[in-house]
Amino acid sequence: MAAAVSSASLVRTAPLWQRALPHLLAVLFFIVLACAYFAPIVFDGKSLAQHDITQFQGGAQEVRNWAATHGGHEPLWTNSMFSGMPTYLISVHFPGDWSVYLQKALTLGLPSAVSNLFLALLCGYVLGVVLGLPPLVAVAGAVALGFSSYNLAILLAGHNTKSFALAYAPLVLGGLLVTFRRDKWLGAALFAVGLTLNLRANHPQITYYVGLLVVIYGIVELVAAARAGRLPAFGQRVALLAVGALLAVGVSFGRLYTTYSYSKFSNRAPSELKGLPAAPGQAPAASAAQQDEDYAFAYSYGVGETMTLLVPNFYGGSSSMALGPDSNTARELSTLGADPQAASQMPTYWGDQAYVAGPVYVGVVVCFLFVLGLFVVDKRTRYWLLAGTLVSFVLAWGKNFESVNSLIFHYLPGYRSFRAVSMGLVMAQLAMPLLAALALARILRPRAAVLPVGPLGAPAEPMHPALAKAARAAAGAPATLPGSPETQARLRQLLYAGAVTAGVLALAWLASFSFDFAAPVDASLMQGPQNPGGFPAALIGALRADRAELLRNDVWRGLLFVGLALGTLYFYLKGKLGAGSAAALVAVLVLVDLWSVDKRYLGEKNFQPTSIAQSFEPSAADQAVLQDKDLSYRVLNIQNPFNEAQTSYFHKSIGGYHGAKLRRYQDLVEREISPEMQALFSQNGGDFRRTPVLNMLNTRYYLTGNEKQPVIRNPGALGNAWFVRAVKTVATPDAEMAALATLNPGQTAVVDNVKFPAVQAATYADTTATITLTTYAPDALSYGYNAAQPGTVVFSEVYYADGWNAYLDGQPAPYFRADFVLRAMHVPAGAHKIDFKFEPKEYATGNTMSLVASIGLVLVLLGTGAYIAKRKPEPDEA
């Protein structure tokens, strides 16, 4: 017989349509799955009640309205959120970024939520295919990646950018692995495309975690290359990946550059305030650094809570989950004469996080295959994926492993810019299904060159030595005969993995009898002198009993799925099942396992008959305020104003909803605006003179939510701009903030003259000077004024020097910050015109760079296509 021939070589002799058919069927299958899961959207015209998307629509509305009525011009600034912020943090296009067309092509015009799930499945499948996995195994891996519960939970919350970034992550990892293990040119091209799309999703924290996986992989490969004496080959591949990364960054450079520039001023940056001194007898306030760490670690996954990857209800599921009519809680409600339907929204979660939409569950079948992978997959790959998983756990634990995570937070470059460290589990969410899919492929084709791992530049692991054996594998029969030593070894490894997984499940069941299942929220629910309307102790006890049952039922459920998966692979190795049948059965088990758990948290109850746009119906209060046709004034909705953007849809709002408001504005909210709101609407409130900060922000209307008086007009609002009688200087941001408590902003402006040394304390005698806003655009404001003497004008606009330019009679003019957050300007006597224009250089520069990189990416794609067309298949390529 001639040289050995691989099954992949046999497949390459088939016609193109025959080779493409399995992949086309897989894509159709993913479309069907995504549409079936979101059937109410696709077939019934409903929408998903996504909180963050609703808030996004509110924050973006001023930009969209302006573009619709001004020839498509998108302003780069909006006054509808937090008294003003850049729109490139909310919704604005970057014409130089051509990756938008690639995304549109990949999403196939599907509705947003459907396309998110479809992309996660598609990219997971591409990862499997480029690693040489058989199509059915690649489908199983894609299902494991796409239906991981976190993907559906973030869609429910409306975190679409996070979902897209996660969906594209497998392309990044696929390009990385192909570069080092198969074809450096194809791998680098795939890496560049995957990272381009991942960055385009604009969720830097997800990209950061993917980058950590890449770094861990690079360390593992570096050690292997050094041992093999192949560092030059390693360096070549790293260089190619670096070029691909630069290209990807370049395509999104406009978005990244503007975001980076803004981040220096956002609430993700440290506060300039050092903190007020402690009152006598009180502990000193936490430092700004400690406050930042506490903020980031507020959502930390419990160490024991990590078990939810295997047992979804280990900690009770979500913060509000339905309990059935046969639950202990429902029966106790009936006994108490209460409506048993109240059991449909009970706080079953008993962990320490303030709120969870659902646990991070990767699937019990996936966990079993992951453990199996630790036995059967090559060392370099399993070391990398195991290390990534463990690092993921540590990062997600946050304050629950503070001795390590505090160091990481302060010293790992870029890490302190992020919050909600529980999100670190996305690394495990990517690593565990990948190792599981590789393990499944190894079991089904024990000697196939799945993910060749030869030293860089050396031949990959050899294929089967006999043509007949390869043909049997291609036909779906076991690649090794039942009873052979190799099969016996695989059987032992399979049983070891099953024993480990089942053993952990059994320990979870036993441990449940030692838990009290008491949640932090229980204290606030229980009846007592301070809460006479709370739950009686018997009902709390019934709820805790239900939490215990939820855990134990999921353990038994997990044992069933592990047994079915183990049995399927056992019968394959015994020659009772073909490889295709075994792969299909495992894929079905993965799907049923994940689908059924996902539906607990994103099911029929989460769809609404109306569209998101229809949810923005103006209230009577909104309609009353909209009768005021003045060019610009602000509105404060006193009901949770800094976590809602419904008001921003109709008005220029003091509040809003965004994860990265200006740092100084956040400080102002915490130190002054919130106390002013409490004082104004307290029992003895109503004195608008007690709200200097709200007055200087030109807060003309308060939306109260009170039917009797839904709108209150603020007579103290200072208008768009005003001349002050005096300028007072201070030396620190803390002094500037402290001055606001007693400041009369209509008469005096306070300025930090360390930051603005040209500004000196002054008084002015002219009381006749006037200034008026003459034209308004979100990113361009014009004023006309008349003054008998030189003076100082304060504008009720947020100071943001990184883009706002001032012009006096058409000529550039200096301005400065006053009253902690506002713009101010010294002006000469006479009648003059002042213009403020938002002209950020970062946007123009970023767009140019994005355009150049987009052209480069197109050339790479064209070159890759030509390379594939001319490339000859390697003899033993999988």
- What proportion of the chain, given as a percentage, has pLDDT over 70? 89
Does 286 score more than 80 pLDDT? no
Residue 163: CA atoms inside 13 Å, Cβ hemisphere, count?
28
pLDDT for the residue numbered 176: 96
Q: Note whether 746 and 695 are within 8 A (CB).
A: yes
pLDDT for the residue numbered 738: 93
pLDDT for the residue numbered 140: 97
Kindly state the average pLDDT of the residues 251-255: 93
pLDDT for the residue numbered 737: 94
Residues ≥6 apart with Cβ < 8 Å to 65: none
Domain segments of the chain: what residues?
A: 7-71+96-271+355-460+481-608, 621-713, 721-839
Burial class (CB in 10 A: 0-12, 13-18, 19+), 575: middle
Q: Note whether 218 and 115 are within 8 A (CB).
A: no
pLDDT for the residue numbered 459: 38
pLDDT for the residue numbered 139: 97
Q: Note whether 182 and 452 are within 8 A (CB).
A: yes
DSSP for residue 658: -
Residues ≥6 apart with Cβ < 8 Å to 585: 568, 577
Phi–psi pair at 577, nearest 5 degrees? -135, 145
Spatial separation of the C-alpha atoms in residues 58 and 717, rounded to whole Å: 24
Residues ≥6 apart with Cβ < 8 Å to 289: 270, 410
Which amino acid does the sequence have at 827? V
pLDDT for the residue numbered 491: 93
DSSP for residue 535: B
Taking residue 145's Cβ as centre, other Cβ atoms within 10 Å add up to 29
Encode pLDDT of 743-766 as tens digits.
999 999 999 999 999 999 999 988
pLDDT for the residue numbered 249: 96
DSSP for residue 812: E
Residues 469-484, buried b or exposed e (16+ Cβ, 10 A)? bbebbbebbbbbeeee
**Structure token pair of residue 85:** 């912020």
Encode pLDDT of 493-526 as tens digits.
999 999 999 999 999 999 999 999 999 888 877 7
Q: Taking the model in full, what pTM does it have?
A: 0.87
Kindly state the average pLDDT of the residues 806-831: 97
Reference 636, options 647, 649, 622; nearest CA is 647
Q: Note whether 551 and 591 are within 8 A (CB).
A: no
Distances (CA, A) of 136 to 6, 141, 143, 375, 586: 18, 9, 11, 22, 9
Give me the torsion for CA of 742, 748, 754, 755, rounded to 10°: 100
Spatial separation of the C-alpha atoms in residues 191 and 178, rounded to whole Å: 9
Cα distance from N-terminal residue to C-terminal residue, the chain: 21
pLDDT for the residue numbered 682: 65
**Structure token pair of residue 392:** 């993921």
Encode pLDDT of 83-123 as tens digits.
999 998 888 889 999 999 999 999 999 998 999 999 999 99
Kindly state the average pLDDT of the residues 651-671: 92
Q: Which band of pLDDT confidence, cut at 50, 70 and 90, is reported for residue 279?
A: very low
Encode pLDDT of 406-440 as tens digits.
999 999 998 988 888 999 999 999 999 999 999 99
3-state secondary structure of 205: helix
Encode pLDDT of 180-228 as tens digits.
988 999 999 999 999 999 999 989 999 999 999 999 999 999 999 999 9
pLDDT for the residue numbered 34: 96
Sign of the alpha-carbon torsion through 311, 314, 317, 321? positive
Q: Note whether 577 and 568 are within 8 A (CB).
A: yes
pLDDT for the residue numbered 688: 59
CA angle 399, 401, 405 (to 5 degrees): 75
